[in-house]
Amino acid sequence: NAGVTQTPKFQVLKTGQSMTLQCAQDMNHNSMYWYRQDPGMGLRLIYYSASEGTTDKGEVPNGYNVSRLNKREFSLRLESAAPSQTSVYFCASTPGENSPLHFGNGTRLTVT
């Protein structure tokens, strides 16, 4: 079982560049999430998609956009990267509310 797959694993960007983080899950889960993890701050929700066709802002959405391409895929786009977006990004999925989240292994992004 692949579970939740994130690509790329590592990325270095220059300020102002754009990129898309990809996420796919093969568990037929309805809900998908993007979190960022920063030292001492735990995980903060960027965007989530409760079901295919819907997306909603989380705690820290500024500077990001998302696309729920289909039930399997949920991408995160940085249109103009900033050093403050240096972080580890995690995608997660769940079959429904109150069910545990299943996480990918993360994308480590550095913006210089």
Partner 1 sequence: AQSVAQPEDQVNVAEGNPLTVKCTYSVSGNPYLFWYVQYPNRGLQFLLKYITGDNLVKGSYGFEAEFNKSQTSFHLKKPSALVSDSALYFCAVRDIDSSYKLIFGSGTRLLVRP
Calpha distance 98→16 (Å, rounded)? 38
Q: Which is nearer to partner 1, 62 or 98 (CB)?
A: 98
Residue matched to tokens 């769940």: 94
The residue from 19, 22, 43, 63 that contacts partner 1 (CB under 8 A) is: 43
Report in angstroms how near the CB of residue 97 gets to partner 1 at its nearest: 4
**Is-contact 23 104, C-beta < 8 A?**
yes
Whether omega for the bond prior to residue 61 falls within 30 degrees of 0, making it cis, is no
Q: If binding means CB under 8 A, how many residues of this protein chain bind partner 1?
A: 25
31 lines the binding site for partner 1 (CB under 8 A): yes
Using rule CB under 8 A, residue 53 touches partner 1: no
The answer to whether residue 64 forms part of the interface with partner 1 (CB under 8 A) is no
- For residue 98, list its beta bridge partners: none
